[in-house]
A and B are shown apart, each in its own frame.
Chain A
């Protein structure tokens, strides 16, 4: 990819390039499985735990792939991002590692824990009032006044390529454990993670890749069925706070519409049950949005009997209250 601001969808070579860029910075998360759980389920379940990634989610990969490519002479200008969640932490951590300033724009009513976490990773948090201010205006002002570089959460080639390194790692790691996946399932919000992963898988394992979403935010599923980007209806709600993008991204959907076999969706309760399974059987902490692919596999939204499936658990930034709620299921 020649430009930092390309708007062309990434190709497989961009993911290999991202893997080189991330080497030594992002963690190569292991593949996990539990043979006793496999026996119980009747299929082989392999988990890619991005909750063990730096900042507790996959978002660090894309953010670092973009931010680390900003030329030296532009680094003093800093980066800016809109997010109250995992993207904020990924951007803040990546910028700090590169010695750059990051400004994260968050709603004033964002949970203080998330604000504090982002600050702890070195981000400057700017709060805005959802009622009276527009985050886009604040962002544009920062870009104009300081020349700060915007890091989008998903609809950007370098971000997609960064997240795609997960697919590349999966294809290498399944070889190490003699597994031949019949399917890969990946959570989808804006679609960056699933599109990058699907791109890598299509060039390596070439097995079906599915997106997984909450039932009430099943815009990828419906968009794939319709063949065009479908928005989430107004008023939808879900506990999967990491997956609440209003519509699939343009760039991500151009890849997903070509590369995904289909979209799966799960209820909030199914996501909570999957979180419980993750804690008790796989010994990892997964947030609700990070658990939807696991939930889709555990509830066999596609027939998995006797098969091998890889699921991405995309993040682990859940509040203890949410974990306790899952444990009570």
Chain B
């Protein structure tokens, strides 16, 4: 079985390992842009910069660590092939390089993995085996298979070379924005965060690294508090849904990281939406967790030069779509009203007129006089309206009521 402690042939990862990884990765992965964000700076009061690992090959930072690990394989190991367990970004990271290095790759995924994720990894040339209920179970199976078949298991985070590879993202970030005062980095198993800590400490001792976790999987924060780590349930930040932090990563984080902020599901969802609205960037849940932390406690970061590690952009199109639409409702920018009309000519016109005068933009009208269970002389109409905010919705509803049109809000917003 894979034992991370056996992978410590050169002790813990240090900055020289990361610098070697920088050289090794040249031309193998993208050197992603780091950009200032005046919009997010305005919103939060911090001076915000973004490291765009959502622009990385395969849409996440994972290709960095997987390449550094796989480049270290011996000829015999390359021939035998590699094994990994992941339904997400790590699978793609390993799959991408396996294909390019000509190394056969077998990726274990949980049995219930959505078809699109399987297909995306297979498209990279990897063999996918669906086994286990959870990623953790798949991982155990994968480790056993690797040992039985004499293949190398590529760990997603608990490997010195993987940590070194992930650290290169922070080295680049600091090359581009050397005077960052804080970096907020997502933590799942802790590979990206451990690399970030080492690179940040080597850059400047006063540079603060803040970890960011989702409330559903606060495992590293729990370990920091001396509690037994756990985590459960579905989260939009599936990239960092890790129940047990790494054996190698945890001490690195403990040595360098002052604290770990934990954010709620709704905050993460809102951060994904704000990245779209304000920054016009597509970011996956785990990649938006640092922004969620910043939005959650702006006073803590006010006036500081803050770098957000935008770790990935692989979000499912349906999930993204529902985040966007829920965002509209949440902000009071979209409302669906059910309005009672007397079924006389012109009453619908009067209703739309009132909404128009009040500045609501009607996007959809559903008028089902024939089929709805309402008295024959009355009718109901459902109208979807673009609005400015919750107050604006209230204003429109009051105006309709004042003219005798009973009005009910169908979409549940912060009005309640």
Report which A residues bind B (CB closer than 8 A). Answer: 27, 30, 32, 34-36, 49, 51-52, 54, 56, 111-113, 116, 276, 279-280, 282-286, 316, 319-321, 323-324, 327-328
A57 smallest CB distance to B (angstroms): 10
Query: Contact at A283–B281, with CB atoms within 8 Å?
Result: yes
Instruction: Pick the contact of B55: A32, A319, A328 (CB < 8 A).
Output: A32
Q: What are 13 A-B contacts with C-beta separation under 8 Å?
A: A27-B36, A36-B96, A49-B280, A52-B280, A112-B386, A112-B388, A282-B55, A285-B280, A319-B386, A320-B324, A320-B333, A321-B363, A324-B325
| B282 CB–A CB distance under 8 Å | yes
- The CA-CA distance from A283 to B310 in the complex, in Å, is 11
- The CA-CA distance from A35 to B57 in the complex, in Å, is 7
Query: Contact at A320–B388, with CB atoms within 8 Å?
Result: no
| B409 CB–A CB distance under 8 Å | no
- The CA-CA distance from A112 to B124 in the complex, in Å, is 45
Chain A residue nearest in CB terms to B312: A283
B36: which A residues are within 8 A, CB to CB?
27
| B109 CB–A CB distance under 8 Å | no
- The CA-CA distance from A316 to B275 in the complex, in Å, is 12
- The CA-CA distance from A269 to B26 in the complex, in Å, is 39
A314 smallest CB distance to B (angstroms): 12
Query: Contact at A36–B327, with CB atoms within 8 Å?
Result: no
Residues 238 to 282 of chain B near chain A (Cβ within 8 Å): 273, 276-277, 279-282
Query: Contact at A36–B317, with CB atoms within 8 Å?
Result: no
Instruction: Pick the contact of A285: B35, B281, B361 (CB < 8 A).
Output: B281
Q: How many residues of B contact A (CB 8 A)?
A: 37
B267 smallest CB distance to A (angstroms): 18
| 0/1 string, B116-127, CB within 8 A of A gives 1 | 000000001000
B317 smallest CB distance to A (angstroms): 5
Q: Assuming the A-B contacts A36-B96, A111-B386, A116-B388, are A320 and B281 also in contact, with contact meaning beta carbons closer than 8 angstroms in the complex?
A: no
A323: which B residues are within 8 A, CB to CB?
276, 321, 324
| B231 CB–A CB distance under 8 Å | no
| B86 CB–A CB distance under 8 Å | no
Query: Contact at A51–B325, with CB atoms within 8 Å?
Result: no
Q: Assuming the A-B contacts A111-B386, A283-B313, A320-B327, are A327 and B361 also in contact, with contact meaning beta carbons closer than 8 angstroms in the complex?
A: no
- The CA-CA distance from A327 to B96 in the complex, in Å, is 25
Query: Contact at B96–A56, with CB atoms within 8 Å?
Result: no
Chain A residue nearest in CB terms to B356: A109
- The CA-CA distance from A179 to B58 in the complex, in Å, is 20
Residue in A32, A283, A284, A285 whose Cβ sees the most chain B Cβ within 10 Å: A283
Interface of A is mostly: helix
Instruction: Pick the contact of B317: A116, A279, A284 (CB < 8 A).
Output: A279
Query: Contact at B33–A320, with CB atoms within 8 Å?
Result: no
Query: Contact at B58–A51, with CB atoms within 8 Å?
Result: no
B25 smallest CB distance to A (angstroms): 14
Q: Assuming the A-B contacts A320-B324, A323-B324, are A285 and B276 also in contact, with contact meaning beta carbons closer than 8 angstroms in the complex?
A: yes
Chain B residue nearest in CB terms to A56: B280
- The CA-CA distance from A316 to B321 in the complex, in Å, is 16
- The CA-CA distance from A276 to B318 in the complex, in Å, is 11
Since A285-B280, A285-B282 are in contact, a sample of 14 more A-B pairs with Cβ atoms closer than 8 Å, ordered by chain A residue number, is: A27-B35, A27-B36, A49-B280, A51-B280, A112-B386, A113-B386, A282-B55, A283-B54, A283-B55, A283-B59, A283-B283, A285-B281, A320-B273, A328-B321
A113: which B residues are within 8 A, CB to CB?
333, 386, 388
Residue in B277, B283, B363, B388 whose Cβ sees the most chain A Cβ within 10 Å: B277
A56: which B residues are within 8 A, CB to CB?
280
Query: Contact at A284–B58, with CB atoms within 8 Å?
Result: no
A319 smallest CB distance to B (angstroms): 8
B55: which A residues are within 8 A, CB to CB?
30, 32, 282-283
Chain A residue nearest in CB terms to B42: A120
A320: which B residues are within 8 A, CB to CB?
273, 276-277, 324-325, 327-328, 333
B328: which A residues are within 8 A, CB to CB?
320-321
Query: Contact at B282–A54, with CB atoms within 8 Å?
Result: no
| B132 CB–A CB distance under 8 Å | no
B359 smallest CB distance to A (angstroms): 5
- The CA-CA distance from A24 to B282 in the complex, in Å, is 26
Residue in A284, A285, A320, A324 whose Cβ sees the most chain B Cβ within 10 Å: A320
| B38 CB–A CB distance under 8 Å | yes
- The CA-CA distance from A319 to B363 in the complex, in Å, is 12
A236 smallest CB distance to B (angstroms): 22
| 0/1 string, B281-295, CB within 8 A of A gives 1 | 111000000000000
B91 smallest CB distance to A (angstroms): 14
Query: Contact at A34–B57, with CB atoms within 8 Å?
Result: yes
B383: which A residues are within 8 A, CB to CB?
none
- The CA-CA distance from A312 to B33 in the complex, in Å, is 17
Query: Contact at A279–B282, with CB atoms within 8 Å?
Result: yes
| B128 CB–A CB distance under 8 Å | no
A319: which B residues are within 8 A, CB to CB?
386
Instruction: Pick the contact of B38: A54, A316, A321 (CB < 8 A).
Output: A54
| B393 CB–A CB distance under 8 Å | no
8 closest Cβ pairs, A-B complex: A316-B280, A283-B313, A285-B280, A320-B324, A30-B33, A283-B282, A51-B280, A327-B321
- The CA-CA distance from A304 to B165 in the complex, in Å, is 35
Query: Contact at A52–B35, with CB atoms within 8 Å?
Result: yes
Q: Assuming the A-B contacts A52-B35, A112-B359, A113-B333, are A324 and B280 also in contact, with contact meaning beta carbons closer than 8 angstroms in the complex?
A: no
Q: Assuming the A-B contacts A32-B55, A285-B281, A320-B328, are A111 and B361 also in contact, with contact meaning beta carbons closer than 8 angstroms in the complex?
A: yes
Chain B residue nearest in CB terms to A110: B361
Chain B residue nearest in CB terms to A285: B280
Query: Contact at A324–B324, with CB atoms within 8 Å?
Result: yes
Residues 289 to 334 of chain B near chain A (Cβ within 8 Å): 313, 317-318, 320-321, 324-325, 327-328, 333-334
A324: which B residues are within 8 A, CB to CB?
321, 324-325
Instruction: Pick the contact of B318: A30, A51, A327 (CB < 8 A).
Output: A327
B58: which A residues are within 8 A, CB to CB?
36
- The CA-CA distance from A279 to B320 in the complex, in Å, is 10
- The CA-CA distance from A27 to B37 in the complex, in Å, is 10
Chain A residue nearest in CB terms to B276: A285
- The CA-CA distance from A32 to B38 in the complex, in Å, is 20
B318: which A residues are within 8 A, CB to CB?
327
B52 smallest CB distance to A (angstroms): 8
- The CA-CA distance from A319 to B277 in the complex, in Å, is 9
Query: Contact at A112–B57, with CB atoms within 8 Å?
Result: no
Query: Contact at B313–A36, with CB atoms within 8 Å?
Result: no
- The CA-CA distance from A36 to B60 in the complex, in Å, is 13
- The CA-CA distance from A56 to B278 in the complex, in Å, is 8
Query: Contact at B317–A327, with CB atoms within 8 Å?
Result: yes
A285: which B residues are within 8 A, CB to CB?
276, 280-282
- The CA-CA distance from A56 to B124 in the complex, in Å, is 34
